[in-house]
Chains A and B, each alone.
Chain A
Amino acid sequence: MRILVIAEHDHHSLKTATRHTLSAARQLGDDIEVLVAGNQCAPAAQAAAQLTGVRQVSVVDSPLYAEQDVENLAALLVEHIQRCGHRHVLVPATSFGKNLLPRVAAMLDVAQIADVVAVIDARTFVRPIYAGNALATVQSNDPILALTVRATAFAPVEDTSTPAAVVELATGPAVGRGRLLGRELTRSSRPALDSARVIVSGGRGLGSAEHYQQLLAPLADALNAALGASRAAVDAGFAANDSQVGQTGKIVAPQLYIAVGISGAIQHLAGMKDSKIIVAINKDEEAPIFQVADYGLVADLFDAVPQLTAAL
Chain B
Amino acid sequence: MKILVATKRLVDHNVKIRVKADHSGVELDNVKMAMNPFDEIAVEEAVRLKEAGLASEVVAVSAGVAACQETLRAAMAVGADRGVLIETDAELQPLAVAKLFKALVEREHPMLVLLGKQAIDDDANQTGQMLAALLGWPQATFASKVTVGDGHVAVTREVDGGLETVEIPLPAVITTDLRLNTPRYAALPNIMKAKKKPLLTLTPTELGVDPMPRLRTLQVNPPAARAAGMRVASVADLVDQLKNHAKVI
Binding site for B on A (CB under 8 A): 70-71, 74, 94-96, 98-107, 109-115, 124, 128-142, 176-186, 192, 194, 198, 223, 231, 234-235, 240-242, 247-248, 250, 255-256, 266-267, 273, 276-279, 290-299, 304, 307-308, 311-312
Contact = CB atoms under 8 A, between A and B. Distances in A.
19 contacts: A70-B139, A99-B129, A105-B126, A110-B95, A111-B94, A111-B95, A111-B214, A128-B223, A135-B221, A135-B223, A137-B217, A137-B218, A139-B216, A192-B161, A242-B161, A242-B163, A248-B38, A297-B232, A312-B249
Given A137-B217, A242-B158, A247-B120, A102 B125 contact: yes
Contact of B159 (A96, A141, A178, A278): A96
B222 A134 contact: yes
B122 interface: yes
A242 B160 contact: yes
B95 A132 contact: no
Contact of B238 (A112, A179, A231, A308): A308
Interface stretch (B51-59, B104-112, B165-173, B195-203): B165-173
Interface in B128-146: 128-134, 138-142, 144
B192 interface: no
Contacts of A105: 95, 126, 130, 133
A295 B242 contact: yes
Interface stretch (B11-19, B42-50, B77-85): B11-19
B118 interface: yes
Contacts of A234: 179
Contact of B160 (A96, A129, A248): A96
A177 B137 CA distance: 9
A130 B129 contact: no
Contacts of B163: 183-185, 241-242
Given A139-B215, A185-B162, A114 B123 contact: yes
Interface string B1-32: 00000000001010011010000001000000
Report, as a range, how many residues of chain B touch the other chain: 35 or more
Nearest to B131: A106
A223 B144 contact: no
Contacts of B226: 273, 278, 291-292, 294
A310 to B, nearest CB: 9
B184 interface: no
Nearest to A241: B158
Nearest to A140: B215
Contact of A296 (B123, B220, B229, B235): B229
A104 B235 CA distance: 51
Given A130-B120, A194-B160, A106 B238 contact: no
B80 to A, nearest CB: 23
Contacts of A183: 162-165
Contacts of B142: 95, 99
Interface in B204-249: 214-223, 226, 229-232, 234-236, 238-239, 241-242, 246, 248-249
Closest CB pairs A-B (n = 4): A102-B129, A106-B130, A111-B214, A106-B133
Given A103-B129, A242-B160, A296-B231, A247 B179 contact: no
Given A70-B139, A106-B98, A248-B118, A295 B214 contact: no
A185 B121 CA distance: 30
B165 A182 contact: yes
B88 interface: no
B66 interface: no
B235 A138 contact: no
B123 A129 contact: yes
Contacts of A266: 16
A71 B179 CA distance: 25
A287 to B, nearest CB: 12
A172 to B, nearest CB: 15
Nearest to B98: A106
A135 B160 contact: no
A64 to B, nearest CB: 15
A96 to B, nearest CB: 7
A122 B159 CA distance: 30
A137 B221 contact: yes
A280 B15 CA distance: 24
Contact of A138 (B134, B138, B215): B215
A160 B93 CA distance: 40
A102 B94 contact: yes
Contact of A130 (B38, B121, B169, B246): B121
Contacts of A291: 226
> Which of A178, A255, A291: most chain B Cβ within 10 A?
A178
A182 B179 CA distance: 19
